[in-house]
Structure 1
Amino acid sequence: MWNSTGFHPDYFLLIGIPGLEDSHLLISIPFSIMYVSALLGNSMLILVISTNEILHQPMYIFLMMLAFCDTLLSSTTVPKTLSIFWFDSHEISFNGCLTEVFFIHFAFGIESSILLLMAYDRYCAICHPLTYAATLTNSFIVKAATIAVLRIFSMAVPFVLLLRKLPFQRSNVIEHTYCEHMSVAKLASADILVNVVYGLIIAASSSGVDMILIIVSYGVIISAVLRLPSSEDRFKAFNTCVSHICVIILFYIPAFFSFIAHRVGHRYISLQFHIIFANLYVLIPPMMNPIIYGVRTKEIRERTLVIFSRLTSNRQ
């Protein structure tokens, strides 16, 4: 089990959901349905936006980026989770586990950055409509996306380095369905204060700051909308923000619940509930985001129907 250095195991064992092993197969049914729905929905969203020039606007480009990130987030963890449920495939290599940790934090951080950019897009469209086209240019989008990737990459890499530095000489059994940073760190036979502090700092300085800026931007947006003279104009302005607000709620609330659950321990929150909820926060947002935008956005809905009609006609 242990490699030549004696500090790291060759592999970890992912238990799944402790105490619910007999129900793994049953639990896998809704998980697999949500995962397939997320893959199909986000793939369709990417296809619809990328193949229609009329949708090559900042709001839809950000939405396509969000769909790609949703796919990455769910695909980082769910396939291994389902392999545990279906085939009792509990082993994951040490490096594979650290890779999973990296992509979980990377995808989560990028998604948070995209939601902030989408909030900025709505702020410019509603509060400064005359300069909107000049502000949100293709060049701006490329630069913003590049900065977001570099920013989150530099924050995600230390999670892997900190875990690799720890000695694991007590146990290689992870009570989870995937490799969460703190679930792995708690197995170390050394002090993990640095890991805990770094996790708190990153949560506050990345997603925490993003969420505060989103709240501030929507405060300004709401103030501007309420000053519009026409009730019809106010309704239209609010309606363009509803989808984004729903996505924000779906993304941040489950994620921060899972983050807090690790810090307060399982005296107040059962381990089983925590693990199930941790899986839902990488499944529900990716599944629901295409539905929310597909139902509420006329342009996407119409283009999706066109693609389906073409597929149907080709089969006939």
Structure 2
Amino acid sequence: MITLSSSALGGEVLLMIGIPGMSKIHHRLFSILFCLFYLIAFSGNCTILFIIKRTPSLHEPMHHFLSMLAVVDLVMTMCTLPTTLGIFWFDIRTIGFDACLTQMYFIHIISVLESSVLLAMAFDRFVAISRPLRYKAILTKVTIIKMGLAMLVRAVVSLLPIPFLLKRLSYCANNSLSHSFCVHPDVMKLACEDDITVNILYGLVVILSTAGIDFIFIVLSYVLIVRTVVNLGAKGKCWKTLNTCVSHICAVFVFFIPMIGLSMIHRFGKDVPPIVSTVVAYIYLIVPPALNPVIYSIKSKPIRKAIWRMLLWKRNTVRNRDTISLQGV
């Protein structure tokens, strides 16, 4: 049974605080910051997808996985944007309970998918460095599609019980969420008298069996990569080979460090101020979609060259159009 505040339209609603204890001036400043992050996330990931699609030389396994990462980041941005900007721009702080569970489900699915894609990209780098002659034979388009479907099925199935486990709980007058979006630990703590041990254990099992295992295999992949690179002998060749992994390593750190920090805070940080948990949650869900395209645009030479070619082509197109117009005059 759910007993929460009722909206004017009827039904149960939850109250999203946003950032606790913040003045209106700081509230507006953060609203501009969030808007900037969302703008970078949308434009950056759309640019990455456009460039990979329009550049035949980028139709390789590594860039197919990068396209997956860009799609995942775009979906994550769309999941958190409505409620986050709703709070900071329009002061809309209520969300229906079912809508909250839906948002929570998709946020966690996308988080698991991002972890899976980062693991697939680590495997891609391992095959490219350790088996360069068989690289394209191992990671064919069919294989990549199968990997993508397997990642999606794993995320959907592993998280499917969570909304139903939350539905069975009773919720009382306390309906305040500590973020501007719905996440499982936050909603779970609103239960008034029910035992939430099952929810805690299942959430722990899911995160360990998905992101936990992914992180272990990513580390293992890089151990094998380093061993392969060391066996190459020449220092210049070693650094050149490892340089192809820098973008991916940065993306792994940007995703996993905030995720591990947030998990630790939710499970062991009872005395941690609420604002710390809130800020880490924003970093975990909003920062990676904005930083990933920036990282790959700066550190990936093929992507950087493709962006420059696109910009030069646009500039030449405009110049030629102006020349034709002047000649016509």
TM-score range, shorter chain: over 0.9
- Counterpart residue number, 1:262: 266
- Counterpart residue number, 2:313: 310
Is the 8 Å Cα contact of residues 119 and 215 (structure 2) preserved in structure 1? yes
Superposed CA deviations along residues 126-146 of structure 1, whole A, max 9, x for unmatched, are 111122121101111011111
Written as runs of structure 1 = structure 2, the 5 A alignment for 1:67-146 is 67-146=70-149
- 1:282 alignment partner, SS class: helix
Is the 8 Å Cα contact of residues 4 and 171 (structure 2) preserved in structure 1? no
Superposed CA deviations along residues 240-285 of structure 1, whole A, max 9, x for unmatched, are 1111111101110001111111112341x21112101211111221
- Counterpart residue number, 1:240: 244
- Counterpart residue number, 1:231: 235
Superposition deviation, residue 73 in structure 1:
1.4
Is the 8 Å Cα contact of residues 9 and 168 (structure 1) preserved in structure 2? no
The answer to whether 1:11 aligns with 2:8 is no
User: Larger Cα Rg: Structure 1 or Structure 2?
Assistant: 2
The answer to whether 1:186 aligns with 2:189 is yes
Superposition deviation, residue 314 in structure 1:
4.7
Task: Find the partner of 2:51 among 48, 52, 55.
Answer: 48
Superposition deviation, residue 226 in structure 1:
0.7
Matched length = 312
Report sequence identity in percent.
Answer: 38
The answer to whether 1:199 aligns with 2:203 is yes
The answer to whether 1:280 aligns with 2:270 is no
Aligned-pair Cα RMSD in Å: 1.8
Matches of 1:92 and 1:314 in 2, distance apart? 48
Matches of 2:309 and 2:89 in 1, distance apart? 37
Matches of 1:21 and 1:166 in 2, distance apart? 34
Superposed CA deviations along residues 89-135 of structure 1, whole A, max 9, x for unmatched, are 00111111011111111100001000111010111111111221211
Report the residue type matching 1:172 in the other structure: N
Is the 8 Å Cα contact of residues 170 and 188 (structure 1) preserved in structure 2? no
Is the 8 Å Cα contact of residues 119 and 217 (structure 1) preserved in structure 2? yes
Superposition deviation, residue 169 in structure 1:
2.7
Superposition deviation, residue 171 in structure 1:
2.5
- Counterpart residue number, 2:163: 160
Of 211-220 and 46-55, the range deviating more from structure 2: 46-55
Superposition deviation, residue 78 in structure 1:
2.9
Matches of 2:179 and 2:289 in 1, distance apart? 21
Q: TM-score, normalised by structure 1?
A: 0.94
Matches of 2:134 and 2:154 in 1, distance apart? 27
Q: TM-score, normalised by structure 2?
A: 0.90
Matches of 2:226 and 2:251 in 1, distance apart? 18
Matches of 2:30 and 2:207 in 1, distance apart? 30
Matches of 1:271 and 1:221 in 2, distance apart? 40
Is the 8 Å Cα contact of residues 101 and 159 (structure 1) preserved in structure 2? no
The answer to whether 1:252 aligns with 2:256 is yes
Matches of 1:2 and 1:129 in 2, distance apart? 58
Is the 8 Å Cα contact of residues 172 and 191 (structure 2) preserved in structure 1? yes
Unmatched 5+ stretches in structure 1: none
Matches of 1:150 and 1:313 in 2, distance apart? 45
Unmatched 5+ stretches in structure 2: 323-329
Matches of 1:121 and 1:2 in 2, distance apart? 48
Matches of 1:313 and 1:172 in 2, distance apart? 57
